[in-house]
Amino acid sequence: MNIDFPFHIDHRGRTAQAGYEKHIRDLIEQVLFTSPGERVNRPTFGSPLKQLIFAPASTELAATTQFLVQGALQQWLGDLIRVDEVQVQSVDASIKVLVRYTLLLTGQQHQARFEREV
């Protein structure tokens, strides 16, 4: 088992755990919403998603954001997943991301939706 994200204590008073599929989804979320430079010992970890959301909206920006997010996922999780598709949508002060991916260990396809206020 893997530690659940965000970290919390379960009903038994122990560190909460997550199954493999949930753990991978948690890892994707961490890559998406961690800005490069935010982690002390891993200054390049993360994606530029939060910084790009404040740029003027355009078709080019949407394509660039999707490309950079997909690259970050492949860089940091490429040994665990194959990224099949990334969709990024900016709505007012929030960002919506859809990631379709395949678990390399099992070959199962999954999709995860994430939404954050920025």
Domains identified in the chain, total number: 1
pLDDT at 30 over 70: yes
CATH number of the domain that 105 lies in?
Answer: 3.10.450.40
What share of the chain has pLDDT > 70, as a percent? 90
Whose tokens are 């492949």? That residue is 74
pLDDT, residue 56, reads: 67
pLDDT at 113 over 80: yes
With a CB cutoff of 8 Å and minimum separation 6, the contacts of 48 are: 35, 36, 65, 68, 72
Please give the C-alpha separations between residue 116 and each of 32, 36, 54, 102, in angstroms, as whole numbers. Answer: 10, 17, 13, 23
Range of the domain at 87: 2-117
Q: In this structure, which long-range contacts are made by residues 69-73, counting pairs with CB atoms below 8 Å and at least 24 apart in sequence?
A: 69/32, 69/97, 72/31, 72/32, 72/46, 72/47, 72/48, 73/28, 73/31, 73/32, 73/47, 73/99, 73/101
Q: What is the mean pLDDT of residues 22-51?
A: 91
- Average pLDDT score over the chain: 87
> Cβ(27)–Cβ(77) under 8 Å?
yes
